[in-house]
């Protein structure tokens, strides 16, 4: 059973979801990628995260293939480019995303990162989309504490902050994670197993994995969601990888494991700039 987290308003979703960054880049892989997402739905990873940026919208088309005929099974997250995040621009961008995914609404719509458009203007666009039934809720991505504080009275409406978080990128633990916890706002962790495989070759992580008879990636995922306030959205394009990710939900790390990982990947002792990919 995959642990669950709750967004403001009470909707509950699995703490392990599915990412789609780099999906849709090769048309020959589209059917396989959609099959992988459908398998993830079957295994309980019902959150599918995508963005208009990914493969210039082609990743959203893969998502559309995956949820065709089973829209009710999926909790769809997509993201808008900063340069499309004006009051009217965000509405137009959302309509394009809906068309690419062939769905009537998006469960969670995020600002991909901050740009020149004032946050208040983007939020006004988001709220208009909520009122129109085009999105159920909104949030942000790649935003730090000061950005969230800038939301002011709109902060309770922000469902999540999607940020880079993994054993090798723990900076948010100093202030952003506590801030979000105080506001009952779960964090979505992208790239939770790192990029390029470097993290998964670290001896301490491999030792914990060996102790449990698991893969290093499964340990990294179990670690990312250990607190109960974080959802991880790893990408997997083939069935074996999807099954490996889903099985990580059953792994519980003990104090010895966590101490070993803390020694190898020290938690932050001071404020750090928000890491981004």
Domain ranges of the chain: 13-197+228-251
> Is the pTM of the predicted complex or chain greater than 0.95?
yes
Q: Do residues 18 and 48 touch, judged by C-beta distance below 8 A?
A: yes
Q: Which secondary structure element, helix H or strand E, spans residue 158, and what is its range? A: strand 158-164
CA distance 115 to 119: 9
Instruction: Out of 46-50, 93-97, 139-143, 196-200, pick the least confident.
Output: 196-200
The token duo for 55 is 């493969």
What is the average pLDDT across 230-251?
Answer: 96
Count Cβ atoms below 10 Å from residue 197 Cβ, excluding itself: 10
CA distance 62 to 87: 27
CA distance 211 to 95: 49
Binding residues for substrate: 112
pLDDT tens profile 11-23: 999 999 999 999 9
CA distance 140 to 108: 10
Q: What angle do CA 60, 275, 261 make, to 5 degrees?
A: 105
**54 catalytic per annotation:** yes
CA distance 4 to 193: 20
Q: What is the CATH class of 13-197+228-251?
A: alpha beta
Q: What angle do CA 109, 14, 168 make, to 5 degrees?
A: 80
Q: What angle do CA 52, 53, 56 make, to 5 degrees?
A: 85
Confidence of residue 10 (pLDDT cuts 50, 70, 90): confident
**Under the phi-then-psi rule, with left for phi > 0, alpha for psi from -120 to 50, and beta for the rest, what region is 110?**
beta
- pLDDT given at position 196: 80
Across the strands, what pairs with 266? Answer: none
**Would you call 44 exposed, middle or buried from its count of C-beta atoms within 10 A (0-12, 13-18, 19+)?**
middle
Q: Do residues 173 and 272 touch, judged by C-beta distance below 8 A?
A: no
Confidence of residue 203 (pLDDT cuts 50, 70, 90): very high
pLDDT tens profile 241-263: 999 999 999 999 999 999 999 99
Residue that is written with structure tokens 């020694």 in the block:
263
Binding residues: 112
Q: Which secondary structure element, helix H or strand E, spans residue 48, and what is its range? A: strand 47-49
- pLDDT given at position 219: 98
CA distance 246 to 261: 21
Mean per-residue pLDDT of the chain: 96
Confidence of residue 139 (pLDDT cuts 50, 70, 90): very high
């Amino acid at each position: 059973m995959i642990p669950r987290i709750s967004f403001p308003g009470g909707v509950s979703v699995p703490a392990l979801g599915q990412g789609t960054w780099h999906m849709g880049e090769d048309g020959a892989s589209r059917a396989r990628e959609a099959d992988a997402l459908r398998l993830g739905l079957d295994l309980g990873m019902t959150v599918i995260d995508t963005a208009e940026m990914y493969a210039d919208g082609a990743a959203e088309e893969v998502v559309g293939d995956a949820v065709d005929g089973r829209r009710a099974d999926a909790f769809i997250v997509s993201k808008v480019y900063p340069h499309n995040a004006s009051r009217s621009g965000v509405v137009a961008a959302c309509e394009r995303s809906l068309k690419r995914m062939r769905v009537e609404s998006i469960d969670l719509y995020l600002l991909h990162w901050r740009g020149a458009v004032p946050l208040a203007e983007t939020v006004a666009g988001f709220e208009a989309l909520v009122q129109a039934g085009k999105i159920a809720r909104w949030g942000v991505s790649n935003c730090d504490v000061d950005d969230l504080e800038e939301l002011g009275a709109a902060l309770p409406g922000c469902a999540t902050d999607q940020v880079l978080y993994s054993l090798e990128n723990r900076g948010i633990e100093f202030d952003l994670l506590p801030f979000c916890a105080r506001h009952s706002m779960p964090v979505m962790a992208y790239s939770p197993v790192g990029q390029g495989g470097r993290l998964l070759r670290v001896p301490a992580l491999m030792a914990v994995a060996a102790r449990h008879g698991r893969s290093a990636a499964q340990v990294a995922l179990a670690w990312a969601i250990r607190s109960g306030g974080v959802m991880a959205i790893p990408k997997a394009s083939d069935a074996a990888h999807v099954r490996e990710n889903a099985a990580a939900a059953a792994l519980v790390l003990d104090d010895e494991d966590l101490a070993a990982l803390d020694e190898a990947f020290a938690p932050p002792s001071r404020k750090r700039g928000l890491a981004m990919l």
